[in-house]
């Protein structure tokens, strides 16, 4: 019991430190009147009714899942928590994010490294509920079970942050339990388009499911080719 209590104390201490760091970030306060974040592409935004809803979970898969998530985070104001497995070798690199055009995101980004799936879900649930973050990202090693999925869903609704769940290396299968994600996306790079000796990278953006939207009513997918 004492060992478990010590572990719990360490977890809470780490979260308290993260919250303290958030308070020192200049752009931490996000406008409460905005209930969605626009993707920045006219047709997908129109299909979503203006953008991705805040206070909800959105699942992003495909080889460009991380790039798509970073684009969304750069369009928000406030602190961002990104949680990935401690065993993951590749990490987000601040100067690289700036070079890629993600603005001040490195100054607002907090990285959490989870030792296992349960700890990752716990970190993300607490962050979503805390109201300290504009967005929270979970990059899990394995699919998230039904009960943790529901807990994350409730936490996102309570805290009002944008919740993103990635499945970049997990193919087309869902990570969250069925019915939890407000939207589910598949994002992959397409061959570059050359114009005036300049390479213009594009993504194949697929809205696989939209809870309460056209995806639910028709059962079909929506696809767009968009500039990355």
Residues comprising the chain, all counted: 228
How high is the pLDDT of residue 66?
Answer: 93
- pLDDT, greater one: 127 or 98: 127
pLDDT band of residue 193 (cuts 50, 70, 90) is low
Alpha carbons within 13 angstroms on the beta-carbon side of residue 129 total 13
Mean pLDDT of 204-216: 77
Residue 1 lies in a domain: no
52-53/36-37 β-pairing? antiparallel
Domain that holds residue 47: 37-227
36-37/109-114 β-pairing? unpaired
**Other Cβ atoms closer than 10 A to 43:** 12
What residues contact residue 8 under an 8 Å CB cut-off, 6+ apart? none
Q: Is the pLDDT of residue 170 over 60?
A: no
Q: Is the pLDDT of residue 167 over 90?
A: no
Residue 17 lies in a domain: no
Strand order in the sheet with 183-195: 109-114, 80-85, 135-138, 162-167, 56-61, 183-195, 198-210, 222-227
Handedness of CA 20, 160, 96, 174 (dihedral sign): positive
Residue 75 lies in a domain: yes
Each residue's pLDDT tens digit, 28-87: 444 444 589 999 999 999 999 999 999 999 999 999 999 999 999 999 999 999 999 999
Question: Mean pLDDT lowest for which of 35-44, 65-74, 155-164, 212-221?
Answer: 212-221
How many separate domains does the chain show? Answer: 1
CB 57 within 8 A of CB 48: no
How high is the pLDDT of residue 22?
Answer: 62
What residues contact residue 13 under an 8 Å CB cut-off, 6+ apart? none
Q: Residue 55: which CATH number?
A: 3.40.50.300
Residue 160 lies in a domain: yes
Q: Average pLDDT over the chain, rounded to whole?
A: 84
Separation CA 119–CA 23 (nearest Å): 24
How high is the pLDDT of residue 33?
Answer: 44
Residue 78 lies in a domain: yes
Residue 206 lies in a domain: yes
CB 214 within 8 A of CB 222: yes
Separation CA 43–CA 24 (nearest Å): 37
SS3 219: coil
Each residue's pLDDT tens digit, 3-30: 677 667 777 777 776 766 665 554 444 4
Residue 18 lies in a domain: no
Separation CA 88–CA 139 (nearest Å): 10
Residue 19 lies in a domain: no
């Amino acid at each position: 019991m004492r060992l478990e209590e010590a572990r719990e104390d360490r977890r809470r201490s780490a979260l308290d430190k993260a919250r303290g760091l958030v308070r020192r970030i200049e752009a931490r306060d996000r406008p409460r009147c905005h209930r969605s974040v626009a993707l920045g592409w006219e047709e997908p935004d129109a299909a979503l009714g203006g953008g991705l809803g805040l206070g909800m979970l959105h699942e992003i898969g495909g080889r460009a899942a991380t790039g798509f998530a970073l684009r969304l985070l750069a369009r928000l104001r406030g602190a961002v928590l990104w949680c990935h497995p401690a065993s993951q070798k590749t990490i987000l690199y601040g100067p690289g994010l700036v070079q890629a055009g993600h603005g001040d995101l490195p100054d607002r980004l907090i990285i959490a490294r989870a030792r296992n799936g349960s700890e990752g879900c716990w970190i993300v649930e607490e962050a979503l509920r805390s109201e300290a973050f504009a967005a929270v990202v979970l990059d899990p090693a394995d699919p998230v079970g039904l009960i943790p999925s529901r807990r994350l869903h409730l936490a996102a609704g309570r805290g009002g942050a944008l919740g993103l769940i990635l499945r970049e290396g997990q193919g087309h299968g869902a990570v969250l339990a069925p019915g939890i994600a407000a939207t589910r996306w598949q994002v992959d790079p397409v061959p570059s388009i050359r114009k005036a000796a300049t390479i213009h990278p594009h993504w194949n953006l697929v809205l696989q499911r939209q809870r309460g939207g056209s995806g639910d009513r028709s059962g079909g997918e929506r696809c767009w080719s968009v500039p990355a």
